[in-house]
Amino acid sequence: MKNKLWMLSIIFLLFVNISWAQESPLTITNMKAEPDIVNTGGKVLITCQVDHTQGAMLIRKVAATIYHGERVTAYPVLYDDGTNGDTESGDGIYSLEIEAGDNACIAQIVFHAVDSDGNEIDSDPISITIE
């Protein structure tokens, strides 16, 4: 019994280490918020470029979360179809026009992408100043 538990533990650790060592096929780059200084309630265009090593058709979802003060606002969909602030359909740049919060602060934006296999990646945060 002890040997079986030991062997299962070794197999589990190998599996976890192999899983952690694999790189995501997704990348998020060119994160922007324009303007990066905005009045409370003002419009902000948030964008990021998402690529997949096996092609854009495997990107299932791109989203963003904004942390402003003690509030968190989730935007479950950014667009790459020429709507909602996106300027060009199918270019790999995902966009959404949002309204800045109603409290002055420095807000952090994190972009999130998921592919059709369930691989997920988060971007480094970017900042906007809400005055």
- With a threshold of 0.75, does the pTM exceed it? yes
In this predicted model, what pLDDT tens digit does every residue of 95-130 receive, in sequence order? 999 999 888 999 999 999 999 999 999 999 999 999
Place 22 in a pLDDT band, splitting at 50, 70 and 90.
low
Q: What is the DSSP string of 58-103?
A: GEEEEEEEEEETTEEEEE---B-SS-TT--STTSSEEEEEEE--SS
- Contact indicator for 126, 32 with CB cutoff of 8 Å: yes
| CA–CA separation, 114 and 59 (whole Å) | 6
Task: Using the predicted structure, report yes or no on whether residue 9 has a pLDDT greater than 50.
Answer: no
Structural domains in the chain?
24-130 (2.60.40.10)
